[in-house]
Structure 1
Amino acid sequence: MAQAAERLVEVWRGDFCESVHHGHVAVWHADSGLIWGLGDVDGTILPRSSSKMVQALPLIESGAADAHGLTPEHLALACASHQGAAIHTDRVARWLSDLGLSEADLRCGVQWPSDEPARDDLICTKCGPGQRHNNCSGKHSGFLTLTKHLHAGPEYIDPDHPVQRAVRAAWEDVTDETTPGYGIDGCSAPNFASSLKGFARALAMFAAARDGADTRRNAMVRLREAMMAHPELVAGEGRACTKLMRVMGQRAAIKTGAEAVFAAIIPERRIGVALKISDGTTRASEAAITQILSALGVLDAQDPVALTYRHGPIRNWRGTETGHYRLTPALADWRP
Structure 2
Amino acid sequence: MSAPVDLVEVWRGDMRESIHQGHAVICDAGGDIVQAWGDPAAMIYPRSSCKMIQALPLIESGAAAAFGLTPAQLALACASHRGAVIHTAPVNAWLDDLGLNDDDFCCGPQEPRDVADRNALIRAGKAPCRVHNNCSGKHAGFLTLTKHLGAGPEYVDIAHPVQMACKAAFEETTQEDSPCYGIDGCSAPNHASTVHGLARAMAFFAAAGGRSDVRSKAAASLVQAMVTFPELIAGETGACTELMRAMGGKVAIKTGAEGVFVAIIPEKKLGIALKIADGATRASECAIAAILVKLGVLDVNHPAAKARMLAPVANWDGLVTGRIRPTAALT
Q: Same fold (TM over 0.5)?
A: yes
Query: What is the alpha-carbon distance in structure 2 between the residues aligned to residue 38 and residue 208 of structure 1?
Result: 23
Deviation at 1:314, TM superposition (A): 1.9
2:138 corresponds to which residue?
139
Q: What's the secondary structure of 2:329's corresponding residue?
A: helix
Deviation at 1:248, TM superposition (A): 0.5
Give 5+ residue unaligned stretches, structure 2. none
Relative to structure 1, the CA distance from residue 3 to residue 97 in structure 2 (aligned partners, 3 Å threshold; closer, same or farther) is: same
Q: What's the secondary structure of 1:326's corresponding residue?
A: strand
TM-score of the aligned structures, taking structure 2 as reference length: 0.98
- 5 Å-filtered alignment, 1:1-336, equals 2-31=1-30, 33-210=32-209, 213-332=212-331
Query: What is the alpha-carbon distance in structure 1 between the residues aligned to residue 108 and residue 82 of structure 2?
Result: 15
Q: What's the secondary structure of 2:311's corresponding residue?
A: coil
Query: What is the alpha-carbon distance in structure 1 between the residues aligned to residue 198 and residue 95 of structure 2?
Result: 31
Deviation at 1:99, TM superposition (A): 0.5
Is the 1:179–1:194 Cα contact (8 Å) retained in structure 2? yes
Query: What is the alpha-carbon distance in structure 2 between the residues aligned to residue 316 and residue 226 of structure 1?
Result: 39
Deviation at 1:3, TM superposition (A): 2.3
RMSD over aligned Cα, in angstroms? 0.9
Residue by residue over 1:245-293, the C-alpha shift from the partner in whole angstroms, topping out at 9 and shown as x without a partner, is: 0110001000000001000000000000000000000010000000111
Deviation at 1:162, TM superposition (A): 0.1
Q: What's the secondary structure of 2:178's corresponding residue?
A: coil
Residue by residue over 1:103-141, the C-alpha shift from the partner in whole angstroms, topping out at 9 and shown as x without a partner, is: 110000111101111111111010101000000000000
Residue by residue over 1:313-332, the C-alpha shift from the partner in whole angstroms, topping out at 9 and shown as x without a partner, is: 22222221100123222111
Deviation at 1:199, TM superposition (A): 0.6
Q: What's the secondary structure of 1:309's corresponding residue?
A: helix
Deviation at 1:31, TM superposition (A): 3.5
TM-score of the aligned structures, taking structure 1 as reference length: 0.97
Query: What is the alpha-carbon distance in structure 1 between the residues aligned to residue 104 and residue 286 of structure 2?
Result: 38
Is the 1:6–1:24 Cα contact (8 Å) retained in structure 2? yes
Q: Which runs of 4+ in 1 moved over 3 A?
A: none
Is the 1:211–1:218 Cα contact (8 Å) retained in structure 2? no
Query: What is the alpha-carbon distance in structure 1 between the residues aligned to residue 272 and residue 283 of structure 2?
Result: 15
Query: What is the alpha-carbon distance in structure 2 between the residues aligned to residue 311 and residue 290 of structure 1?
Result: 10
Relative to structure 1, the CA distance from residue 32 to residue 74 in structure 2 (aligned partners, 3 Å threshold; closer, same or farther) is: closer
Is the 2:174–2:198 Cα contact (8 Å) retained in structure 1? yes
Is the 2:31–2:200 Cα contact (8 Å) retained in structure 1? no
Q: Which amino acid aligns with 1:282?
A: T
Q: What's the secondary structure of 1:268's corresponding residue?
A: coil
